[in-house]
Each structure stands twice: as structure tokens, then as C-alpha cells.
Chains A and B, each alone.
Chain A
């Protein structure tokens, strides 16, 4: 299995989206290749970090404006009998 082929398959492996035969081949390779194992692990952690990361704060004046705008729209929708 050449390097580029392996790389191209990494995505499918990380996503759990691979034909069983191919998956087995890849896992056989991983069993004997520490760098590749670590790369797979790195990728999983990278994704987790972006998914789990804390969101940033809203600019304070924006937050106020947002909630004022929601109030206004709410009043309008109530008046339109929704």
C-alpha cells in the first residue's frame, strides 16, 4: 500500500466508513506502524477539540441588541395573531 493510498483511506477509517476488506488491510498496517497509529489518533483528537471547544463570548453591546431585536419581533408576531 503506497503512502498516498494510505492517506486517502485515513478519512474513511476515522469516520468508520470503509469496506470491511479494506478496513482489515488498513488495520493490519496500523498494527505494525506506530507513526500511522499516532496520526489517526491525532486526527481524532483534532476533530474532538473543534467539536468540544468552548464557544467565544458575544460582544456585550451586540448581545443587548440581539435580545432587543427579538423582543421587537416577538411583539410584532404576537400582534399579527400567530
Chain B
């Protein structure tokens, strides 16, 4: 019994904080464990932002090299993974700027019109999903479906969705990272969510329980 307890303790996954401490003290193996723990997520994030494998690989590599070089200065107020994803996000946005030949913070020309709440498309396919997102997330086909839906978003909306909803950045952080106004962040997020909802509900919704959209002229 004792042996099992000890064994379990030894096999228990080490916490990020402990690995980080050891890495800072010069333990490369600890840093490698951290890398292995998060490399797929960093790569997935980069791929979703950049939609190009080579670029995503470059950003992933840059991210871990940067983390390695800046370990000593990492203050651990946010978690290690949050720090990592931030580095990756900014590196990926830099690539987008470069693709567009922009040297300003903004990812778009200053002449781009402000988004507005006019003409937000109304939900059409409305139905409860057949399964919970947790169950769906485990299924093989799901990944492809959600990536396709994401790929079909206009880049402006996709980036806001990734930064706000997937990475959990605040409105202000997102606005600053993308060089757009807070209002634009909010409107684009709404559009992204609604478009993704529409597409995914067509895939995952229970057709038999489909509801007609409700007219809201007067409430």
C-alpha cells in the first residue's frame, strides 16, 4: 500500500510552478516537460491565427525559445501557460502585420470603416445541440468541423474571437493587440459568435427540435 502511494506521488503530473522553479534553476528536463505539455496548444493557437503550417511552426518555435530566454524575468503573476499563449499571440499578429506590409500596431488600414451593430445577421437555425460540448470535444470529427467554421470567418472576426473567447484577453487588451477600438472589438466578437453559432448549430443541433426564429419588433 505504502509503495502504491509513493509510486502514485512520483507519477503524479508535476505542477507548472514546480517545473518552472526547476527550469529557472537550470534543469533543462523540467523545461522540456513544460514544452511537451503546451507545445500542441501553442501550435494550434498559432495555426488558427495564421492558417498556414510553416508560419505556425515558426511562431511556435519562437515562442518556446523566447520563453526559454526570458525565464529568469518571468514574474509568474499570470500562469506559465497564459504567458506562453500571450507570447505566441503577439508573435502571430506580428506575422500578419508583416504579410500585409504594415508597420503600425493596427492590423488594418486606418481607412477601414468602423463596424456597427446595424445589419447584424439574425440567427436562423435555432435548436438545442444533441450533445454537450464536453462530449463533442472528444469526438474526432468535431475538430475538423470547428476549424472549418473558424476558417470561414472573416479574419477581422476570427482574430477577435480567438483573442477574446479562446485566449481570454480583455476587451482592452484585445483592442490594443489588434490596434482597433473597444467598440470594434465588441461588434466583431458578436458577429464572430453569431456566425460560429449558426454554423455549428447546423452541424450539432437536433433537427427534430428546431425552433422558428422569434420576431422581436415589439416586446
B201–A42 CB distance below 8 A: yes
Distance from A17 Cβ to chain B, minimum over Cβ atoms (Å): 9
**Hey, which chain A residues are within 8 Å of B112, CB to CB?**
none
Per a CB cutoff under 8 Å, which of A7, A62, A66, A78 touches B35? A66
**Interchain Cβ contacts within 8 Å, total number:** 143
Q: CA A69 – CA B39 in complex, angstroms?
A: 14
**Hey, which chain A residues are within 8 Å of B128, CB to CB?**
38, 41-42
Q: CA A67 – CA B133 in complex, angstroms?
A: 33
Output the nearest chain B residue to A29 by Cβ-Cβ distance: B219
Interface residue ranges, A against B (CB under 8 Å)? 1-4, 6-8, 10-11, 14, 29, 33-36, 38-39, 41-43, 45-59, 62-63, 65-67, 69-71, 73-74, 77-78, 82
Of the listed stretches B11-19, B64-72, B87-95, B96-104, chain A binds: B64-72
**Hey, which chain A residues are within 8 Å of B79, CB to CB?**
none
Q: CA A54 – CA B45 in complex, angstroms?
A: 11
B211–A34 CB distance below 8 A: yes
Q: Mostly helix, strand, loop or mixed at chain B's interface? A: helix
A70–B197 CB distance below 8 A: no
**Interface residue ranges of B17-57 to A (CB < 8 Å):** 26, 28, 31-32, 35, 39-41, 43-44, 47, 53, 57
Per a CB cutoff under 8 Å, which of A7, A57, A82 touches B40? A57
B197-215 vs A: 1/0 string, CB under 8 Å? 1001100010000011111
A69–B65 CB distance below 8 A: yes
Q: B120 an interface residue at 8 Å Cβ cutoff?
A: yes
A52–B126 CB distance below 8 A: no
Of the listed stretches B2-10, B172-180, B186-194, chain A binds: B186-194
A42–B61 CB distance below 8 A: no
**Hey, which chain B residues are within 8 Å of A52, CB to CB?**
133-134, 137
Distance from B82 Cβ to chain A, minimum over Cβ atoms (Å): 13
B103-137 vs A: 1/0 string, CB under 8 Å? 00000000000000110101100111100111011
**Hey, which chain A residues are within 8 Å of B186, CB to CB?**
11
Interface residue ranges, B against A (CB under 8 Å)? 26, 28, 31-32, 35, 39-41, 43-44, 47, 53, 57, 60-61, 64-65, 68-69, 72, 117-118, 120, 122-123, 126-129, 132-134, 136-138, 142-143, 146, 150, 161, 165-166, 186, 189-190, 193-194, 196-197, 200-201, 205, 211-217, 219
**Hey, which chain B residues are within 8 Å of A63, CB to CB?**
39
**Hey, which chain A residues are within 8 Å of B219, CB to CB?**
1, 6, 29
**Hey, which chain B residues are within 8 Å of A82, CB to CB?**
72
Contact flag A51-B165 (CB < 8 Å), given A35-B211, A56-B47, A57-B40: yes
- Could you give 7 example pairs across A and B, Cβ below 8 Å? A38-B211, A43-B197, A49-B136, A55-B44, A57-B40, A62-B57, A69-B61
